[in-house]
Structure 1
Amino acid sequence: MPLLPLLRRRGQAARALTLTPRFAGGSTWTKTRRLAEPSLHDDDLRTVAYRLVDAAGLQRGRLTGLALKGEDLIDAGQVAQQIRLDTAREARLVAQAAVDRVRDKYEPDIIGPAAAFRHAS
């Protein structure tokens, strides 16, 4: 299971994301970026993840692996709920909750890192 739904399923929010690319030859480096505010929403975390990847300037030919990890986790109940006037964002958050309910119904036992590594059929 990807990082984002797993955070929500566990009732956690991330304050930072860490990107760890692995290069041909086995070398790695790590870069962490803090979020403006703790979040467990796909849009917020995806934006920070894309910024990390863009800032890294990775060359596809040398890249053999990529790990993204939520850092400085807190209880999701501690995240402030802001009133936003962005109706498109609010619609995405409602859809995100619906997708999480479907995922919970049809994949209830898939929790943990092994869930991200399913074999292709």
Structure 2
Amino acid sequence: MLPGALTLSLRFAGGISWERTRRLAEPSAHEDDLRQLAYQLMDAAGLQRGRLTGLVLRGEDLVDAGQVAEQIRLDGARKSRLVAEQAADRIRAKFGDRAIGPADVFRRGS
């Protein structure tokens, strides 16, 4: 099986279109590999002041049988916040709702 690929298609005001495809160096199911490839495609487009009217990022050959397709998140900070929220939820479930919260709410111990 060929490694997965991403294709970035852009449409600009005035009807001009641009499309490029890049393949992963080797098969990968890691979101970070796909995110890095997507950023490389966007950098290759050299977007500066063009007025975009359409943007499509399409994945090809990314899912093997038995795997579940998942949306690519291009925002790494969002993923970090979600991981932190899940950890906070687990702490609250184990130790109660007041076990974790904003630092300015807690009183300093004596």
* TM-score (normalised: structure 2): 0.51
Q: Within 2, Cα distance between the matches of 1:16 and 1:76?
A: 17
Say if 1:24 and 1:64, in contact at 8 Å, map to a contact too: yes
Q: Which one has the largest radius of gyration?
A: 2
Name the count of aligned residue pairs: 68
Residue 43 of structure 2 is aligned to residue 17 of structure 1: no
More strand by share: 1
Structure in which a larger fraction of residues adopt helix: 1
Query: Please, which runs of 5 or more residues in structure 2 have no aligned partner?
Result: 68-79, 87-110
Question: Is 1:31 matched up with 2:20?
Answer: yes
- SS of 2:26's equivalent? strand
Q: Where has structure 1 moved over 6 Å in runs of 4 or more? A: none
Question: Identity, % of aligned pairs?
Answer: 71
Q: Which amino acid aligns with 2:4?
A: R
Two-structure CA RMSD over aligned residues (Å)? 2.6
Q: Deviations over 1:53-112 (max 9, x none)?
A: 10110234422221100013441669xxxxxxxxxxxxx8xx5xx8xxxxxxxxxxxxxx
**TM (normalized to structure 1)?**
0.47
Gaps of 5+ in 1: 1-13, 79-91, 99-121
Q: How does 1:1-121 map to 2 (within 5 A)?
A: 15-75=4-64
